[in-house]
Amino acid sequence: MPELIEDQAASLRRLLGGATLHSLLFIGADSGIGQSALVANIAHAMAQCGQSVLVIDAQPQLRSGARWFGLSPRGDLAEAMAGERRLDDLLLHAPGGVTLLPAARLPDAPGTAAQRPSGARARVLSELGSRFDTVLIDVPADRVLHWTPAAAHAGAILLGSSEHQRSITAGYSALKSLSWQNGQQRYLWWIARATATAPAEAAYRKVAQTAQRFLHMQLGFAGAVPADPMVGRAERMRRPVVEAFPASRYAAACAMLAARLSTLPRRSDAATLVWDGLLGFEPDPDASRAPMEPRHSRSPDVTHLTPPNHGRSARQTEPN
């Protein structure tokens, strides 16, 4: 049996060895900012542009992003990993080309286990790797430790806040925790329910300057999502805003953010590394240093995904 498990893990690496995976990990430190709504709308926008999109939904069922597509979870990834259910019985196929996979009940902190993955787990990840080229992972704040192995090799980690200080402080705490776990990564910040461009950018600069000073990292700006009454109306209709009200301010912001995120550089080894994180392997420190495009290089098409000039940083105290 050990030989079979090793063979399946090796097959997964061969399958994904030359593949590229566009992986985005959304981590919500403030549960009231609308992260699942953002993930659902970005996923829909990406699918409409031809990407094969999987949303791994780690939110509890009551906050599941499936509601944005008129769907209800009928199981959890943990059941497929344990060999109790077929993967196809759990996948939720939404109108517009997005596929959702509930994953709220995975065991805690799989990356701390020394055991090799079971045959069922290797088969599940092999199937997922062969079907999707884009994966968005929607993670609540209290599940950050579980997803650390996947976060270590994700194409980008997106954290957000509103313009209010309490929300900014909660988001920064999550950023600090992730930086201690994973070191340098491509971290991006987004602002929820923005009232205007200037306050949103000011809120971002506050976090970015603090992160640069105390964490010695650059924090990119993904963009701002405006407060918009069409969000509540679309949620009641159980449809993504970008599909129900494409002319709304919120839909326009999500479509722009999806386009920007789609231009981020991809690593040729990202597929294997991210799926390894889901399988429960400890991240390989050497693998994370593999040659790749600079994480914070400026792209002519991504003008808002790099931090502004921090030369005028004011004296400040690190948030708790």
Give the position of tokens 């997106």: 158
More confident: 293 or 240: 240
- Asked if pLDDT for residue 137 goes beyond 50, the answer is yes
Q: Give pLDDT, residue 292.
A: 36
pLDDT band at 320 (very low <50, low <70, confident <90, very high): low
What is the structure's pLDDT at 267?
A: 62
Give me the residues paired with residue 139 across strands: 27
The sheet that has 98-102: what strands, in order across it? Answer: 92-93, 98-102, 53-57, 134-140, 22-28, 156-161, 187-194, 220-226
DSSP states of 114-146? -SPPPHHHHHHHHHHHHH-SEEEEEEEGGGTTT
At the topology level, CATH places domain 2-281 in: Rossmann fold (3.40.50)
Task: Give the torsion sign (CA, 176, 313, 207, 303).
Answer: negative
8 Å CB contact between 38 and 255 = no
| Residue, of 22 and 285, whose pLDDT is higher | 22
> What per-residue confidence (pLDDT) applies to 269?
62
User: pLDDT, tens digit, for every residue of 48-97?
Assistant: 999 999 999 998 877 789 999 999 999 999 899 889 999 999 999 999 99
Q: What is the pLDDT of residue 307?
A: 43
Averaging pLDDT over each range in 18-27, 181-190, 291-300, which range is the top one?
181-190
